[in-house]
Chain A
């Protein structure tokens, strides 16, 4: 079946540094990938929609200059958390679908970011 690979699975960084998270679709081409964030005991919240070859679409309240998204190929999207702060500590999950709609998403394993 379709697989989405996300790396790293866990990262601890100091406040002020930047962290890059990679999301790869391993056996299908994903023109669109989605980035979610989940705080403890909260639901998954969509941060942005990553479109191959064009700018990402950010949800309201998500700073595009802080969460840089690059979707340079049909199998890779990256999320960079710039100048991370402790409040950015969260579980970040990417997802992709083989079709544009009406198909369930396949999720990466998630990245647990801890900013100290």
Chain B
């Protein structure tokens, strides 16, 4: 089983749609969780951290379920500029981040 698994994608949605990405992780000792965004041929950029109580940043909402080892990202009112690959990322204390393969989102007008 891979350490971090994500929805295979791609997700093709119209502008204004709501889209949700799911992610599961295998290591129960994982302590920190993030969603990164990666545009084509660019480095990943932090989108948001994921907290146990769930957190929201504008149109983006992240949820964490430690019992199920599950993370989600919800994007509301999708914009064309949201088109990118979204990476689910986890790590344990003092270790490097482990990346999921990513889910590609394409928002069309």
Contact = CB atoms under 8 A, between A and B. Distances in A.
B94 A34 contact: no
Nearest to B34: A104
B36 to A, nearest CB: 8
A102 interface: yes
Contact of A107 (B32, B43, B94, B95): B43
A42 B95 CA distance: 21
Contacts of B66: none
Interface stretch (A14-22, A60-68, A73-81, A108-116): A108-116
A45 B96 CA distance: 10
Given A44-B44, A104-B49, A110-B42, A34 B34 contact: no
Given A93-B43, A108-B43, A112-B41, A101 B100 contact: no
Nearest to B46: A104
B45 A107 contact: yes
A95 B32 CA distance: 16
A86 to B, nearest CB: 19
Interface string B84-96: 0001000111111
B98 interface: yes
Interface in B40-92: 41-46, 49, 87, 91-92
Interface in A88-114: 91, 93, 95, 100-105, 107-110, 112
B26 interface: no
A107 B101 CA distance: 17
**What 10 pairs across the A-B complex have the smallest Cβ distances?**
A43-B101, A101-B93, A107-B43, A44-B99, A34-B96, A110-B43, A104-B46, A101-B94, A46-B96, A43-B99
6 contacts: A46-B96, A101-B93, A104-B34, A104-B97, A105-B97, A112-B41
